[in-house]
Amino acid sequence: MTLKLILIAALASCSSVAASGIPYRIELSPTGSKSVFVTVSIPQGATARRLSHNGRVDPALALMKWGPLDPTRVHAISFLLEGGSGNLTVTSSPVENAAVTTIPVREDTDNDGVPDDFEQQHQLHIGNDDSAEDPDGDGFTNRDEAFLGTDPNRADDVLKVSSSEYSIADEAFIFHLPAKFASIPLIVETSPTLDNALWRSVDAEMEIIGDEAIFEVKGGLANTRQFFRVRPDLTEEE
Ligand SMILES: [Ca+2]
Ligand SMILES: [Ca+2]
Ligand SMILES: [Ca+2]
| Whether the model pTM is above 0.95 | no
Least confident of 9-13, 187-191, 202-206, 229-233: 9-13
Sign of CA dihedral 97, 52, 118, 160: positive
Give distance in angstroms: CA of 133 to centre of ligand 2. 7
SS3 24: strand
Nearest ligand by distance to the CA of 129: 1
Is residue 109 packed enough to be buried (19+ CB in 10 Å), middle (13-18) or exposed (0-12)?
A: exposed
Strands, E, within 73-221: which ranges? 75-82, 87-93, 100-104, 163-167, 172-178, 186-191, 200-202, 205-209, 212-218
If you average pLDDT over residues 162-180, what whole number do you get? Answer: 90
**Residue 137 Cα to ligand 3 middle (Å):** 8
pLDDT single digits (tens) 79-125: 778 888 888 888 887 765 567 788 888 888 888 888 899 999 999 99
Rounded to the nearest whole angstrom, what is the distance from the C-alpha of residue 5 to the centroid of ligand 1?
25
State the distance from the centre of ligand 2 to the C-alpha of 150, rounded, in angstroms. 8
DSSP helix/strand/coil, 57: strand
Cα(78)–Cα(25) distance, integer angstroms: 4
Contacts of 168 (CB under 8 A, 6+ apart): none
Domains, in order of start, for the chain: 3-106 (2.60.40.690), 163-232 (2.60.40)
pLDDT digits (tens, 9 = 90+) for 175-184: 999 988 887 7
